[in-house]
Structure 1
Amino acid sequence: MGILSWIILGLVAGALARWLMPGEDKMGWIMTMVLGIAGAFAGGFIGSFIGLGSVSGFNIATILTATAGAVILLFTYNKFIK
C-alpha cells in the first residue's frame, strides 16, 4: 500500500474511531484524523505482528485493523494525556 492509501485509510479509521468512542473530545477533528493515521500504522504493525496477515489493499479487513489501532490510540490518549 502506498503512503497516500495509508493516509486515506487513516482518515477513515479516525472518523470511525471517533464515532465508536463518543463523548467530549477536546482535540478536534484534525487531530482525531491524525490519530487515525497513526492508528492505521499501529494497527497494521500489530496485526502483522500477531499473525493476522499483512495489511495490503483497501478492504474491510484493513479498515477494521486500522480502526482498532485508532481506537486503542484514542482510548490511550483520553485516559492518560487528557
Structure 2
Amino acid sequence: MTIQSILGAIVIGAVIGAIGRLLLPGRQAIGWILTVVVGIVAALIGTAIAQVLGVETTPGIDWIELVMQVVLAIVGVGLVAGLRRGGTRV
C-alpha cells in the first residue's frame, strides 16, 4: 500500500460515509470521524462484493459499485448510530 492509496481510501470513505449519512433519515448520534470510518469500511466491502459478483469495471465511474458502497454506508451508519444510542441512554 502506498500513501496515495491510503489517502485515496480515506477521501473516498469520507465521501461514501457522508452520502450514506445524508441519505439516512433522522438524526444520527455519531461524529464525523466515525462516519468516515464507516464509509471506508463500506467502500472496501462494497468493492469486494462488486468484484465477487463480477461487476465489470468501466472507464469512469462504476455506478453499480458506488450504489453498493452507499447502501452499505447507510446500513453501517444506521447500525453504529443505533448501537451508540442504545448504549448511552440511562
Q: Which amino acid aligns with 1:17?
A: G
Question: Which is greater in Rg?
Answer: 2
Corresponding residue SS for 1:2: helix
* Gap regions ≥5 residues in structure 2: 85-90
Give the distance between the partners of 1:43 and 1:8, measured in 2 at CA.
15
Q: Which amino acid aligns with 1:41?
A: L
Deviation at 1:57, TM superposition (A): 8.4
Moved more, 21-30 or 39-48: 21-30
Alpha-carbon contact 1:39-1:66 (below 8 Å) kept: yes
| Cα distance in 1 between the residues matched to 2:40 and 2:60 | 14
Change (3 A) 1:75 1:46: farther
Query: What is the number of residues matched between the two proteins?
Result: 80
Q: Which runs of 4+ in 1 moved over 6 A?
A: none
Matched, 1:38 2:37: no
RMSD: 2.7
The TM-score with structure 2 as length reference comes to 0.67
Q: Percent identity?
A: 29
